[in-house]
Amino acid sequence: MMLQTIAAITGDFGHGLTGALGCLAAAFSVAMIGTKAVESVGRNPGAAGKILVQSILGMALAEAVAFYALFLS
């Protein structure tokens, strides 16, 4: 019953669900990177510039996973 409902919402068992799970994983990754960056700046405020650059790069790579999941599914 639940799988039929998910299939009706996403349109297909594989394609829509794969894209949704890929985007969900990317969202959790971006949230985790942001959380850890804030913790790092709290511990060492002097390194805020370096941490910002590294966290932006990490978030961009995590978002690339979402695009791959959407376009390849």
CATH number at residue 56: 1.20.20.10
Q: Count how many domains the chain has.
A: 1
pTM above 0.85, yes or no: no
Which residue range(s) make up the domain with 38? Answer: 2-72
pLDDT in tens, the chain (73 residues): 677 776 676 665 566 777 888 889 999 999 999 999 999 999 999 999 999 999 999 999 999 988 888 887 6
Interacting residues of 20 by C-beta distance below 8 A, sequence separation 6+:
10
CA distances from 3 to 12, 24, 53 (A): 10, 18, 42
